[in-house]
Structures are given as C-alpha cells and as structure tokens.
Amino acid sequence: MMTWWETLRLALDAIVAHRVRSILTTLGITIGIAAVTLSVGMAQGATASISSEIGSLGSNLLTVQAGYFSHDGGQPMDPSTMPTLSMEDAEALSDPTIAPDIAAAAPAIQSGFELAARDTSIGTQAEATTPAWLAVQSRTLAVGEFFTPEQYDDGAAVVVLGSNSASQLFGDPGAAVGQTVTANSTSLLVIGVLEQSGGMMSTDDLAVIPLTTYRDRLSWGEEPIGAIYLQATSADRLTQAHQEAAALLAGRRGAATSEEAGIMIVSQQSLVQAMEQVTNVLTLLLGGIAAISLVVGGIGVMNIMLVSVQERVREIGLRKALGARRRTILAQFLTEAAMLALVGGALGLALSAGVAWLVTTLAEFPVPVSLPTVLLALGVSAAIGLVAGSYPASRASRLAPIDALRRE
C-alpha cells in the first residue's frame, strides 16, 4: 500500500497526462456545481430581501379584513350577507379594557384616486383613515404634519401624500406642502409628505386623508370599512393581540370563531412565513433542476473513468505484475475519479463566485455563496467522483494481471 500522498501524486499525474480530456470531463461537474450554488444562492438572496422587506413594514402590525376567504371555494355571495367591518369594530378594538394587548386601531377605506395638481394628474392609492394610522403603520413624515384629531373631527379638506405621489405631482416632495390637489373636483390641502418606506412592496404611491372627509365629500353612499390596522403593544404580544381581536370580532357577530364570522386577521409574520415557504419551494425547485445537471456531470466522470480504465488496462496489468494489490489499484482509480470531480467542483465554485459577484454588483441583487454551500458542494463533488469511479475502479482492480498485460 502506498501512502495517501503518493496516491494523490499518482492521481494528479494521470489527470495532468490527459489534460484536455480531464478538463472536458470536469466541465460537467463545474457547470453542475455552479448551477446548484448559484440557484440556491439566488433563492436565498430572494428570501433574505423579502423577509427584510416585510420586516421593515413593522413587526407588530396586524391587518383585519372581512370577507369569505377560503372554505367555500369562492362561490358568488349575496351582498347583503357579506361580512363587513365597521367603525364600532375599530372603536371596540382600541378599547384597552377589552383588548389590552392592542395599542391602537386604525380603520381604513382603500380606493383609487385621480389626483390633479396644477399641471399634472396621477392615479394613486388612497387611504381614508383616522389619525392613529401613522403610529399603527410605523410611518413618519418627511415634511409637514399628519392630520390632527381636530382636523379629523371637522372633516378637514387635507391630504398627506406618499413620497412618490408628492414628487410626481410637484417634482420635489418638499415643495408639496401648502399646495392644493384636486380629487373628484374636491380641493385638498397638502399638509404633509410621508418618509419613504423603501423596499420592493412600495407604499409610497399613496394619499392619506381623514375618513370623515372621505365620507363627507368623496364617497357615494355608505362604503364599509375595508380594513382595520392594529398595533400590538409590542412585537412579542402579537399572538395575544391576534387572539383578542379574533375573539372580540367573533363575539360581536355572535360567531364561534372569527373565520366563521368571515374575518381574516393577518400579521406581518404570517406573511413572512408564507413568503419563506414560497422561496423554500423555489430553492428546492431550482436546486433540484441544477442537481440534475450535477448528476449528468457525474455520469460524465464515470464514462471517462471507464474509458480511462479501458485505455490503461496494460498499465493496470503491469502494476499488478509488479506487485500492486487489488486495493492499491482500487485506491488509485478512486482517488483519480474523486480528484477529477473535486477539481471540477472547485472550478464550479469559482465560476459561481464570479457570476454571483457580477449579479450582485450589476443587478444589485444579493447572491450569497455561503461557506456551508461551498463545503457541501465540494463534498458532493467528491462523493460524485467516488460513486462514479467505484465501478470502473473495481473493474480495473479485478483484472487478472496477465489478461490485462496481454491486451492491446
């Protein structure tokens, strides 16, 4: 038996002796490993950016909505029996004696608005709500003020714009305050512009007005409340706040559960979990497809090892004639196959690191290639080499010395 170092040197010699063939063989593994690490990295990058996105929306925010969402397969409903939310629901939810873990509740009606300034007009999302909205949504103002309880009670004709809407209408968000915009021929005074919320799920195309103003001047008929935003007293009271809201709303409707009453309460965390599930499936799917290419690469190594054994039958015969034991021959060919695959894996990692760097810098989309991924990729490529090499290697080691020597 030779030492491991000598076995390695021998394998390296054989690989270098057939340079071109070795490179072509490792190409399969290289591409496979690069595909796996890149797709896993991309999926992980997507997961990370989505979670941080949702996390930035506020971790103690709950959203209550009404409507039948699941079990009955979306059959059309009689509008008179459709579950709805009301101002009284919002008032009850903000009562600390009934729901001690809910800090504040902000009812809101969402609708599309056509907003016109002096020379432009834009379509934007309007939120008609109460002064509590700002705190509940964890938003702050870039310039100006949010509407006060007094302005709310008076149904004042004021509006707070999201930063995108403000810059679209007035060029510069700072210039918006004090200007007038028109919605459905109602003039509204811009009293503030919200700080950018940032992120992909942008909520910067927005116009926030008092709910009273909306009901008095902008809506036709009695529109029901579309959503109630709830702020838990703290992030770790979120579950309790969720339960209290569910129990309260179900109780008010004489139903056993909030689901039965047609009420859905969504937390940011459940959104995060749902998104993570989606991206996990994505990771598996992408990784799985890439893994197939890795298997194809492994078959390539096996094929070349078989050819290599065929080509070197005389060499094997000679080595056996000179006293090589079966295990020594086996070790030699296994090492060669593993090394071939490892070199391919290392090249694949280098390739994926390069592509990841390019994507990160050019597309500003993070593609993390983590150490566990690297180690796993190298381990997998070595394993592929061993599996792919074991059949040819054991065939080589079993040859009778004279049969091998005599072959041409």
Question: Looking at 183, 272, 319, 388, which residue binds another protein (CB under 8 A)?
Answer: 319
Q: Is 48 in the site for another protein (CB under 8 A)?
A: no
DSSP state of 218: I
| Rounded distance between C-alpha atoms, residue 286 and residue 49, angstroms | 18
Rounded to a whole number of angstroms, the minimum distance from the CB of residue 312 to another protein is: 10
Q: Which member of 99, 109, 324, 330 binds another protein (CB under 8 A)? A: 324
The distance of closest approach from Cβ of residue 320 to another protein in the complex, given in angstroms and rounded to an integer, is 7
User: According to CB under 8 A, which residues from 12 to 31 bind another protein?
Assistant: 13, 17
Q: Which range of residues in 67-75, 125-133, 158-166, 313-321 is near another protein by CB under 8 A?
A: 313-321
Distance separating alpha carbons of residues 316 and 332, to the nearest angstrom:
10
Choice from 322, 362, 363, 371 touching another protein (CB under 8 A):
322
Comparison of 118 and 398: residue with beta carbon closer to another protein = 398
Out of 315, 374, 386, 387, the only residue in the binding site for another protein (CB under 8 A) is 315
Please tell me whether residue 400 binds another protein under the rule CB under 8 A. Answer: yes
| 124 close to 155: Cβ distance less than 8 angstroms | no
Residue 310 makes contact with another protein by CB under 8 A: no
The residue (of 118 and 406) whose beta carbon lies closer to another protein is 406
Kindly tell me which residue out of 87, 318, 351, 387 binds another protein, with binding defined by CB under 8 A.
318
As measured in angstroms, the least distance from the Cβ of 404 to another protein is 9
Output the smallest distance, CB 400 to another protein, in A. 7
The 8-class DSSP code of residue 195 comes to P
End-to-end CA distance of the chain: 27
Q: Is 253 helix (H, G, I), strand (E, B) or coil?
A: coil
Q: Which stretch binds another protein (CB under 8 A): 1-9, 46-54, 113-121, 279-287?
A: 1-9
- Residues linked to residue 267 through DSSP beta bridges, in sequence order: 62
Q: Are 196 and 115 in contact (CB under 8 A)?
A: no
The pair of three-digit structure tokens given for residue 269, joined into one six-digit string = 């965390």
Stretch near another protein under the rule CB under 8 A, chosen from 77-85, 207-215, 221-229, 398-406: 398-406
Is the distance from CB of 304 to CB of 25 less than 8 angstroms? yes
For CA atoms 98, 102, 103, 106, the dihedral sign is negative
> Residue 28 corresponds to which amino acid?
G
Q: Contact 263/89 with Cβ under 8 angstroms?
A: no
Span from 210-218, 264-272, 278-286, 318-326 in contact with another protein (CB under 8 A): 318-326
Smallest distance, another protein to C-beta of residue 304, A = 17
Q: Is 320 in the site for another protein (CB under 8 A)?
A: yes
How far apart (Å, rounded) are the C-alpha atoms in residues 318 and 315?
5
- Three-state DSSP at 282 gives helix
402 lies in the binding site for another protein (CB under 8 A): yes
The percent helix, strand, coil of the chain (3-state, each to 5) is: 55, 15, 25
- Residues that bind another protein (rule: CB under 8 A) add up to a total of 21
> In this structure, what DSSP letter does residue 152 have?
H
Q: Compute how many other C-beta atoms are within 10 angstroms of the C-beta atom of residue 73.
A: 6
Q: Does 362 bind another protein (CB under 8 A)?
A: no
d(CA 326, CA 400): 10
Q: Judged by CB under 8 A, does residue 6 bind another protein?
A: yes
Say whether residue 95 binds another protein (CB under 8 A).
no
Q: Identify the residue among 314, 350, 354, 365 touching another protein (CB under 8 A).
A: 314
Cα–Cα nearest to 349, from 49, 58, 40: 40
140 versus 310: smaller Cβ distance to another protein? 310
Q: Interface residues with another protein (CB under 8 A)? A: 1-2, 6, 13, 17, 314-315, 318-326, 328, 400-402, 405
